[in-house]
A and B are shown apart, each in its own frame.
Chain A
């Protein structure tokens, strides 16, 4: 088994202007997905990211407010899952609840750095 990081992008929840009922419905979809990943032993852990942040870049680096307004693709959080292969991890990503609101998942294997070469 290897560890994979599932990285979530999508619109900022604040822009969706959900009603309480819609918010609850979306949350339930997340519970169902994460619950299923847990029950099947895939789920290792994960964290959401606070929407506001800073970006530091440039040859003479400056800090600007980010993520940016074009942030329909805001980085929202990640989870780590255990899976046999990239294909198997990708299969798990199909359960992601936010495809209907233009969310996306990037699936990446977490590299193990060997202690002894």
Chain B
């Protein structure tokens, strides 16, 4: 009987299992091939079951991550041995092949190789032939160790839909013989862009979605940052843009808690208690922003992180450097000429050039009528600007439209308050 008297309560590192799941899936996929993802996932599940049984009774090993890896490795060698026994070859050759295979397997379980395998997995999940939704779901499942329900909760979807996305993505990878590799040359640069988009999506899903519950949204942001950091720590991923994206996430995340008041109400940037912004994250943001300023490529993430940094620099809303922000938004608009950037830029324009100019700029956005009828954010921002311009009728009409369009209760509450202020 194992005894454990007098020990203090064990505590595992937050999300240890999730993170180790991602590592194990990546390493085992390198060994068994991406077409064997089901076998890989089953093996990882078995490893956790074993840990669950053994550790429960206060017998957690000193290095839980290494323990898990070792169990997974032994199980892998077991499976490979069984495969070899089936081969129709001499026992001498079997032994040779086996010891070669086992040596290689041991190599794959070294820390540097684990990081390499994880990067391969990220690149595979971000295969450009997959739709962005499928990329995001598959990344959360295989790289981040999220379960189907957790992904559904995080992305405000349902289990069946997520299951379908993941199935579709795996099928594509299998039938098209997608390689489990890190692309090189031009393909690498292109693939990195997809990876950034997926990480950015993940982060924003956590940061902006008012629909999902707060806990899982926080997890998503944390996970996007962890993966981005993983990217910057690998020689292939340590690109200026990777650091810029990580900096952007740090700046944004520093405001995570101060954006939400009691009872889940939204606190706008101008009303946030800036002393609540996470100083450590802001410092980290500057650190990564520094590391991003090499080479001569200026990515959208550079510009967006500079914008976020500009907000962090201002001790209060009134002392925000609007001229600097407008310059940055002008750059951003050149690189990313999309309506949402134009909308955000117009908010800055209201400060530098006056509300009238801002309103005209929004009305000039191509397809603005359609956007105002479809997306609450356009109606909300324009309605706000009309209120500032003293046009109550137009303001009320637009804010009511926004109220009707947003699915978020917190947004509705905010719009209600604004409507009440007009009357």
Contact = CB atoms under 8 A, between A and B. Distances in A.
Interface of A: 13-14, 18-24, 26-28, 30-32, 34-36, 38-39, 41, 43-48, 50, 77, 79-80
Given A46-B1, A48-B57, A79-B57, A24 B9 contact: no
Contacts of A50: 53
Given A21-B18, A45-B3, A31 B9 contact: yes
B7 interface: yes
A46 B48 CA distance: 20
Interface of B: 1-12, 15-18, 20-21, 45, 48-49, 51-58, 60, 145-150
A89 B131 CA distance: 57
A27 B13 CA distance: 12
Nearest to B219: A21
B10 A20 contact: no
Contact of B7 (A19, A20, A30, A38): A38
Describe A's contact surface by its main secondary structure. helix
Contacts of A38: 4-9, 58
- The 6 closest A-B CB pairs, nearest first, are A19-B147, A35-B9, A45-B3, A20-B17, A24-B17, A31-B10
Given A19-B146, A45-B4, A14 B49 contact: yes
Contact of B5 (A18, A31, A44): A44
Contacts of A44: 1, 3, 5
A22 B147 contact: yes
Nearest to A32: B9
Contact of A27 (B4, B20, B55): B55
A71 to B, nearest CB: 15
B54 A23 contact: no
B339 to A, nearest CB: 37
B17 to A, nearest CB: 4
Given A19-B149, A20-B20, A36 B55 contact: no
Contacts of B58: 31, 34-35, 38, 43
Nearest to A30: B56
Contact of A20 (B5, B8, B48): B48
A3 B54 CA distance: 23
Contacts of B57: 30, 34, 46-48, 77, 79
B42 to A, nearest CB: 10
